A and B are shown apart, each in its own frame.
Chain A
Amino acid sequence: MNEIKRIYNYRELLKTSIKKEVRSKYKNSFLGVVWSFFYPLLQIVVYAVIFSLILKNKQEHYTIFLCCGIIPWTFFSIAVNKSAFVIIENGNIIKKVYFPREIIPISVVTAETINFLISTIIIIGFVIFGGKGISKYILSYPVILIAQYLIILAISFIVSSICVYFRDLQHFIGIILQLLFYATPIVYSQNSIPTGFQWILKYNPMTYIINAYRDIFYYGQAIKIKPMMYMIFLGMVGVFLGFKLFNKLQRGFAEQL
């Protein structure tokens, strides 16, 4: 409780860091906010061409199907990837000023959440103009977002603090994310996978997140409540443990940087 109050006292810093983080993405670039649409769109086009034209995937409305997976995934992977570098990038301030270090991962994840909210417009655009139509189940979007936010924040606490001690973990993270991309039903659907490999998807939290987004946007059906509750619970436990770990490791930050 004390810890939360400590961070709350620095809420202005949290706000300004989030703002800076969001703005820095678009500042100094000619296309500005357009980038946040352009990048995922380009990705969708590439995967759509590969998997539906070249590999002849039979999924109907494959582009919409893809888009419901890729955009939440991009949110996840960029946030995790950034976390690996963010403490080291801020080394100068960390060595010179005291402030609750937790602010750094929290603001990275929150800024990426805002970017994700913006790019959700792309999903909605695809759903409307792709001929699927919006269903009422879209209202459960915030529930999925909360689950995803918690899971990402937990990973961010862990990754950002460990990477200070082992610098080359940053490269591993990139590779692991790449593997995880294919171990999550993003370019394919869960039931198209042979039963022998199902267990991989079963233990991957992102499977449930992506499936839930797909439920509300692509299939137009209710999310599965039970797994979603598990994910939120898992996220909360993860955030708690991640916070503890971060708190322990941050004591050595100034010396390691």
Chain B
Amino acid sequence: MQEYAICVKDVYKNFNVYLDKANTIKEKLLFLSRNRKEKREVLKGINLNIKKGEAVALIGTNGSGKSTLLKLMTKILYPNSGTIEINGKLTSLLELGAGFHPDFSGRENIYFNASIFGLTKKEIDEKLNDIIEFSELKNFIDNPIRTYSSGMFMRLAFAVAINVNADILLVDEILSVGDEHFQNKCIEKMLELKQKGMTMVFVTHSMESVKKLCNRAVWLYNGEIQMDGNSDEVIKKYVEVTK
């Protein structure tokens, strides 16, 4: 079992979609019958084992359950049935800059953001220079975040996230950060981390980056795994079908 970083076993996930949600006790009591809800099956029996050091891409059309699967892995959501086992420290980048506070300086936000990822002060101190350098913010680092352009904001957020020490990295659709120069830098950094043996799972629509980064791709369709295998083959098939 230890050779796997992530073991997803027979996972089902439903969402209750409330058409008119009674969010309060008052409404629940008054309109007992009115609680119409629709059960939507988002994942239907997913089995997926990811080996340590593997870089896997999850691809599929919108609503196929990719992001839900990622959220299950990082324990933001919990499955209705089935188990998910994680071996190692896991960090997920579902959205950049979560927990950034606009009134604090870039430097202070590094501390706050990195602490959300579970780093201690000492670890952040050690990483601080790397993060600032990677973000290319230079003198702006001590300005409040609200004065940043959106590109600068993203660069800082990405710099923090990528410098978090983890064994497993989950990335959702955020590789399209900043200008081309910075994008390339991000991909290079990812490749470097991959060389170091970090396990990675990407959700992306950019087939280009899948080809660059991943050797394995998993194609999700309507909450089921449609195809799983070598990334080139899966992409070829996927592009053919979705055309």
Contact = CB atoms under 8 A, between A and B. Distances in A.
Nearest to B111: A16
A99 B119 CA distance: 11
B24 A97 contact: no
A96 B118 contact: no
A98 B92 contact: yes
Contacts of A98: 74-76, 90, 92
Q: How large is the interface on B (under 10, 10 to 19, 20 to 34, 35 or more residues)?
A: 20 to 34
Contacts of B233: none
A244 interface: no
A92 B116 CA distance: 13
A38 interface: no
A96 B25 contact: no
Nearest to B28: A166
Interface string A1-33: 000000001111101100010000000000000
Interface of A: 9-13, 15-16, 20, 92-99, 166-169, 251-252, 254-255
Given A12-B120, A97-B98, A254-B77, A167 B23 contact: yes
Given A93-B99, A251-B78, A169 B112 contact: no
B94 A97 contact: yes
Interface string B111-148: 11011111111001000000000000000000000000
Given A13-B115, A94-B76, A98-B92, 16 more contacts: A9-B118, A16-B111, A20-B101, A93-B98, A97-B94, A98-B76, A99-B118, A166-B25, A166-B28, A167-B24, A168-B24, A168-B25, A168-B26, A252-B78, A254-B77, A255-B77
Interface in B15-73: 15-16, 23-26, 28, 71
Contacts, number: 67
B95 interface: yes
A251 B121 CA distance: 28
A13 B24 contact: no
Q: Which of B16, B25, B114, B118 has the most CB of A within 10 A?
A: B118
A251 B71 CA distance: 12
A65 to B, nearest CB: 38
Nearest to A253: B76
Contacts of A96: 76, 94-95, 98
Contacts of A252: 78
Nearest to B15: A255
B25 A254 contact: no
A170 to B, nearest CB: 9
Interface of B: 15-16, 23-26, 28, 71, 74-78, 90, 92, 94-95, 98-99, 101, 111-112, 114-121, 124
A163 B242 CA distance: 44
Contacts of B23: 166-168
Contacts of A10: 115, 118
Contacts of A13: 115-116, 118
13 contacts: A10-B118, A11-B120, A12-B114, A12-B121, A13-B118, A16-B115, A93-B98, A97-B92, A167-B23, A168-B24, A168-B25, A255-B15, A255-B16
A83 to B, nearest CB: 18
B22 to A, nearest CB: 10
Contacts of A93: 98-99, 116
Given A97-B92, A98-B76, A98-B92, A12 B24 contact: no
Contacts of A99: 116-118
Contact of A16 (B15, B71, B112): B112
A12 B116 CA distance: 8
A233 to B, nearest CB: 32
B99 A166 contact: no
Contacts of A95: 76
B115 A12 contact: yes
Contacts of B94: 96-97
Nearest to A6: B118
Nearest to A10: B118
Contacts of B74: 98
A95 to B, nearest CB: 7
A252 B23 CA distance: 14
